[in-house]
Chains A and B, each alone.
Chain A
Amino acid sequence: MADVTPRPFIRIRPDGTGGLGRWGELWEYRDVLVMLAVRDVKLRYKQTALGVVWVVLQPLVAGIIFAVIFGRFAGLPSGGRPYLLFVFAGLLAWNLFAGVLQRAGNSLVGEAKLITKVYFPRLLIPGAAAAAALVDYAVSLGVMAVLMAWFGLWPGWWLALLPVMTLLTLALAVGLSLWVSALNVRYRDFMYALPFLIQVWMYASPVVYGLEMIPERWRGIFALNPLVGIIEGNRAALLGGGTEVWPLLTVPALAAAVALWSGAAYFRRVERDFADNL
């Protein structure tokens, strides 16, 4: 008896070989990624009373406060660029990174009901959360464009670096959030440590201040934080940069590769236990 349509063959084994680990499945279930991301975006803009306004206002207000305190009162250097733009360019990259980490990191625990009731590749859950965070980034990018026009500053050919920076930021954030989301399932107290870690990380990165603030001899060590290269690279892309930006990108590129590879490997190893642990 010949089948008309080819039937997939699925092997279910205790060690998770077969069904639970095929990469091709991610493509098969791509609709889930899209639907989940669309849902997240819709909910974000439906539920908050101010909707889009909130997403615009949040980084803008933060940027203005930082600009006033660090740029005006403390008089920190910004390489001759308006401090608001300087800070906002840093916040843009930082918010994408932190947004993905936070949303994707908590995504599995948030979808406990789904995970225990239906099967699809679990990678799609943090993936969709990251995609939704990307929408906020796009909105912020629009705000940045308006701000730059306001200050009469036009991006140069450095702008071509922006997509590269965005991808790099995303890769690093997704890689780390694969770790975080999986650890969150296993260790529930991890959820409380995450906001603190993110906060500390922000002040250890040149978001509200510039790299010039760091004494020359410490910069080498400081740049081991991949966010240094990411934020400086983002600033260079939007506001124009110097030639010293390129070496800074080695660390983020390496970090992103390691995070993505190890995160995916760890995630795949533990995902089959998610339903039992949630």
Chain B
Amino acid sequence: MSDPVIRCENLGKSYVLHHDGDRPGYRTLREDLLSLPSRLQAAWRNHGTGEEFWALRKVSFEVRPGEVIGIIGRNGAGKSTLLKILSRITAPSAGGVDLHGRVGSLLEVGTGFHPELTGRENIFLSGAMLGMRRAEVRAHFDAIVAFAEVEQFLDTPCKHYSSGMYTRLGFAVAAHLRTDILLVDEVLAVGDASFQQRCLGKMAEVAGGGRTVLFVSHNLGAIGSLCPRTLWLDHGELHQDGPSREVIERYLADVAGQAGTATTAAAPAGPAWLVSARLAERNGTARQAFSMTEPVRVECEYQVAQAGGYTLSVQVKEFDFSPVVHCTSGDAGFAVPGTTGRHRIAVEVPDMQLYPGRYWLRLALTQTATGRQHDLDRIGFQIEQDFTLCTRPLPRQAGLVYRRAEWTVLSPPSP
């Protein structure tokens, strides 16, 4: 077997949290000069000045040439920190990495773009930033322009671009990077669906091209289809490393921890908050699975500390948390009781005819006057197929909402 191209050993990254809530490392000269005596004293007594926070801890793994690896985990799990260390943007605090090969990273779309410069100028600028030689950019120039579909606007300053054009151009430049190792952060969350599809296509092409790719995404579907192997980071540690299907299934089971219910542990500061919510039938029996033709019913309990006008909203999300359906009490002309004390409300989202699979529900309580909001998120539930509606199994990748269309035979075309 060939040697690993990436070898991560006991990799760790710590930040010092300052107690005054400052950003790490951000200080003023005046403060430093004034606090010099006390800091010297602290150093003398061997006391730290802040609390250490490990964004990444004891992460070890190896990557062989040509492997395409997905990295998943909740927000703040250390995914981006890992990519930043691998791309040398920031230095680790412990452990180390050995890399064999040129590293290219795409941590945002449109790295180095300046709005005042034209598309043409930005292609060269961004290309250079990402590590491409001028000649390399020139060689791929036409392909970049074609992929981004900005031919007519090449000499227009990018500030006049639509956000779609901007994104396309940014991705197009990075997609033509020819490095041995490519690090890609969540960049597919932008752009319209057709563009996302093209990006995924490009990623698949890159992945199939024998290059080593590390790909961070919340889009578990994309990870599953692009990457044979997945790393799951949790609270800065490598929780699981294995075949994508296995890791993603375990991950989903974990985030779906309390299926069907959600509660707020401690009463938060605020005018009102949601205490608990659960999916239930009308007779009160708890439910976690609903048929695609049946309404999804939620019961919630909330506490009002400050009497006033409130709005409740329900959001249904896909397994990768992209929103699907959103309903508000306001739209329904429903007045949410807003007197101080505890209240209970039931909401029924009418049959959505969603494809069978795992979905999430989010409830939010908003004070109408101030917009202050409290929510309960990630209440997991299952949608099951209604075989009286459709007898063939409905594959989730075919669609999201089931509909029956009207089909008509038209007269044949005249020869």
Q: Which A positions have Cβ atoms within 8 angstroms of B?
A: 1, 7-14, 16, 19-20, 29, 31-32, 34-36, 39, 42-43, 46-47, 114-120, 183, 186-190, 193, 272-273, 275-277
Whether B116 contacts A43 by the Cβ 8 Å rule is: yes
How many angstroms between the C-alpha atoms of A13 and B93 in the bound complex? Answer: 8
When chains A and B are docked, how far (Å) is the Cα of A31 from the Cα of B82?
27
Q: A16-B91, A118-B105 known; A188 and B26 CB under 8 Å?
A: yes
Interface hits, B5-48 → A, CB 8 Å: 5, 15, 24-30, 32
Our pick among A1, A12, A187, A193 for the contact of B27 (Cβ within 8 Å) is: A187
Apart from A31-B128, A36-B125, A187-B32, 17 more pairs, CB < 8 Å: A8-B101, A10-B97, A12-B98, A14-B92, A14-B93, A16-B91, A39-B114, A39-B117, A42-B116, A43-B114, A43-B117, A115-B89, A117-B111, A118-B87, A118-B107, A120-B131, A277-B24
**Which A residues are CB-close (under 8 A) to B88?**
10, 12, 19-20, 119
Q: Flag if B97 contacts A12 (CB, 8 Å).
A: yes
Inter-chain contact B101/A11, CB cutoff 8 Å = no
Check if B2 sits within 8 Å of A12, measured CB to CB: no
Across the A-B interface, give the 6 residue pairs with the lowest CB-CB distance, nearest first.
A277-B25, A187-B29, A272-B91, A12-B97, A189-B28, A10-B99
Instruction: Let me know if B108 is at the binding interface, CB within 8 A.
Output: yes
A12: nearest chain-B partner, CB-CB:
B97
Query: Which A residue sits closest to B33, measured CB to CB?
Result: A187
Neighbour of A46 across the interface among B30, B103, B105, B116, CB < 8 A: B116
Q: Inter-chain contact count A-B, CB under 8 Å?
A: 126
Interface of B is mostly: loop
The answer for the CA separation of A119 and B128 in the assembled complex, in Å, is: 11
Whether A39 contacts B24 by the Cβ 8 Å rule is no
Residue of B5, B25, B132 near A186 (CB, 8 A) is B25
Contact A42-B117, Cβ < 8 Å, known A29-B131, A118-B105, A186-B25: yes
Q: Is B84 an interface residue (CB 8 A)?
A: yes
| B119 vs chain A, min Cβ distance (A) | 14
CB–CB A275/B99 < 8 A: no
Could you give, for residues 299-330 of chain B, a 1 whenever the CB lies within 8 Å of some chain A CB and a 0 otherwise? 00000000000000000000000000000000
CB distance from A124 to the nearest CB of B (A): 10
Residue numbers in A under 8 Å from B91 (CB-CB): 12-14, 16, 20, 272-273
Interface residue from B29, B102, B112 paired with A118 (Cβ < 8 Å)? B112
Q: How far is the CB of A37 from chain B (nearest CB, A)?
A: 11
Q: Which residues of A contact B117 (CB under 8 A)?
A: 39, 42-43
Interface size of B as a range:
35 or more
For A114, give its contact among B2, B105, B111 (CB under 8 Å): B111
Cα separation A29 to B27 with both chains bound (whole Å): 31
* A151 and B134 alpha carbons, distance in the complex (Å): 45
Asked if B165 is at the interface of the complex by the 8 Å CB criterion, the answer is: no
Is B129 part of the contact surface with A, judged by Cβ < 8 Å?
yes
Residue of B nearest to A47 (CB): B116
Mark out the residues of chain B between 65 and 104 whose CB falls within 8 Å of any chain A CB in the assembled complex: 84-103
B124 and A35 within 8 A (CB) = yes
Interface centre among A16, A32, A115 (most CB of B within 10 A): A32
CB proximity of A119 to chain B, nearest CB, Å: 4
Chosen A-B contacts, 29 in total, with CB atoms closer than 8 Å, are A7-B5, A10-B98, A10-B100, A10-B103, A11-B96, A12-B86, A12-B96, A12-B97, A14-B93, A14-B95, A14-B96, A20-B88, A34-B128, A39-B117, A39-B121, A46-B116, A117-B89, A117-B107, A117-B108, A117-B111, A118-B89, A119-B88, A183-B29, A188-B26, A189-B28, A189-B30, A273-B90, A277-B25, A277-B26
Would you give the shortest CB distance from B127 to chain A, in whole angstroms? 8
**Distance A131 CA – B92 CA, assembled complex (angstroms):** 32
Asked whether A11 and B98 contact (CB < 8 A) given A117-B111, A276-B15, the answer is yes
Q: Which residues in A have their C-beta under 8 angstroms from that of B125?
A: 35-36, 39
Nearest opposing residue in chain B for A189, CB measure = B28
Which of B86, B97, B100, B130 touches A7 (beta carbons < 8 Å)? Answer: B100
Is B133 an interface residue when CB atoms closer than 8 A count as contact? yes
Of the candidates A7, A32, A188, A272, the one whose C-beta lies within 8 Å of that of B90 is A272
CB distance from B120 to the nearest CB of A (A): 12
* A9 and B98 contacting across the interface, CB-CB below 8 Å: yes
User: Hey, which chain B residues are within 8 Å of A114, CB to CB?
Assistant: 111-112, 129
